[in-house]
């Protein structure tokens, strides 16, 4: 799809981006990952300060790029990566607010599915309700990697919400009663884009705050921490 690149949002040229991309929401977290874990790093994007880098991790070529906040933002970046840049796998590594009583700060959630209050799926004109789910191969690999690293993790449903400040004060409780583990803002759009493109996607999330206990991590720790999540994601890169 070289005729479509560079895009208005991504300055990368053909071949600049690896087949697997890790996508934190925060572009500064992308920089931290590149600086901390990758070798032979090149920066392929700074447009809108949505930093993107390609390097190697344990000899495997991998890219990392911010997605921004919300489904419209990750929808743009993941669509272009899948459809214009030939990316096969996107692994979202992000933060989430815990809903389940069993989750504590810094726990990992591997999202098998992503409920949503968004209208994102309407563009596909489906004759029903679409269920956005992870790619099983990536999911299985992440579970195995978490076990190998002796990491506490939970696999289950999350909810991707368009609203950070939700006027419906009962929303969190209603999702919780359906055994939804956590709330975030991007996974459903990523899973839908992957399904439409015939590509692979997975979301690995770290609990940064808990909706019902009120506990939370400071902003700097969200930006620079989450090492366990990053290492699990890097450990399942195939290329």
Q: What percent of the chain has pLDDT over 70?
A: 97
- Domain extent at residue 156: 2-235
Q: Any idea what the CATH number is for the domain that residue 47 is in?
A: 3.40.50.1580
Residue 107 clears pLDDT 90, i.e. is over it? yes
Mean pLDDT, rounded, of the chain: 96
Task: Name which of 125, 124, 97, 112 is nearest 192 in CA terms.
Answer: 124
- Burial label for 47, CB within 10 Å (0-12, 13-18, 19+), is middle
Q: Please enumerate, as own/partner, the contacts of 218-224 that have beta carbons within 8 Å and a separation of 24 or more.
A: 222/26, 222/29, 222/95, 223/26, 223/28, 223/29, 223/32, 224/29, 224/32
How confident is the model at residue 226, as a pLDDT? 87
Report whether 112 contacts 156 (CB < 8 A). yes
d(CA 173, CA 111): 19
Residue 164: CB atoms within 10 A of its CB come to 10
Q: Give percent helix, percent strand, percent coil of the chain, each to the nearest 5.
A: 35, 30, 40
Residue 159: pLDDT band (50, 70, 90) is very high
Q: What is the pLDDT of residues 115-156, one digit of tens each?
A: 999 999 999 999 999 999 999 999 999 999 999 999 999 999
Give exposure, 12-46, as e/b (b: 16+ Cβ within 10 Å): beeebbbbbbbbbbbbebbbbbbeebbeebebbbe
Catalytic sites, residue numbers? 209
Residues 6+ apart with CB under 8 A from 126: none
More confident residue, 96 or 221: 96
What local confidence, expressed as pLDDT, does residue 238 receive? 84
Under 8 Å between Cβ of 105 and 209: yes
Q: How many domains does the chain have?
A: 1
Give per-residue pLDDT as tens, 219-231: 777 666 589 999 9
Concatenating the DSSP letter of every residue in 99-144 gives: -STT--TT-EEEEEEEEES--GGGGG--SS----B--HHHHHHHHH
**How would residue 106 be classed by pLDDT, with cut points 50, 70 and 90?**
very high
60-74, 127-141, 167-181, 208-222: least confident range: 208-222
Neighbours of 138 (CB within 10 A): 23
Q: Tell me the average pLDDT across 227-238.
A: 95
Cβ neighbors of 87 (< 8 A, separation 6 or more) are 17, 18, 19, 20, 21, 63, 81, 199
197-221 pLDDT, tens digit per residue, is 999 999 999 999 999 999 998 877 7
């Amino acid at each position: 799809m070289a005729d479509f690149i560079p895009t208005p949002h991504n300055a990368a040229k053909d071949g600049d981006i690896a087949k697997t991309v890790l996508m934190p929401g925060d572009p500064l977290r992308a920089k931290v990952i590149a600086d901390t874990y990758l070798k032979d790093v090149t920066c392929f994007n700074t447009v809108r300060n949505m930093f993107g880098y390609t390097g190697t991790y344990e000899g495997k070529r991998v890219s990392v790029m911010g997605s921004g906040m919300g489904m419209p933002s990750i929808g743009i970046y993941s669509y272009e990566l899948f459809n214009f840049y030939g990316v096969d796998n996107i692994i979202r590594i992000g933060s989430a607010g815990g809903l389940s009583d069993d989750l504590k700060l810094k726990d990992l959630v591997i999202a098998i599915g992503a409920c949503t209050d968004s209208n994102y799926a309407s563009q596909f004109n489906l004759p029903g309700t679409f269920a956005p789910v992870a790619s099983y191969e990536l999911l299985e690999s992440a579970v195995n990697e978490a076990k190998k690293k002796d990491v506490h993790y939970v696999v289950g449903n999350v909810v991707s919400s368009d609203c950070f400040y939700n006027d419906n004060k009962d929303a969190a409780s209603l999702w919780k009663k359906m055994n939804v583990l956590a709330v975030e803002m991007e996974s459903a759009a990523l899973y839908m884009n992957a399904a439409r493109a015939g590509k692979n996607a997975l979301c690995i999330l770290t609990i940064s705050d808990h909706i019902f206990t009120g506990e939370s991590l400071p902003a700097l720790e969200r930006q620079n921490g989450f090492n366990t999540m990053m290492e699990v994601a890097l450990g399942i890169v195939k290329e």
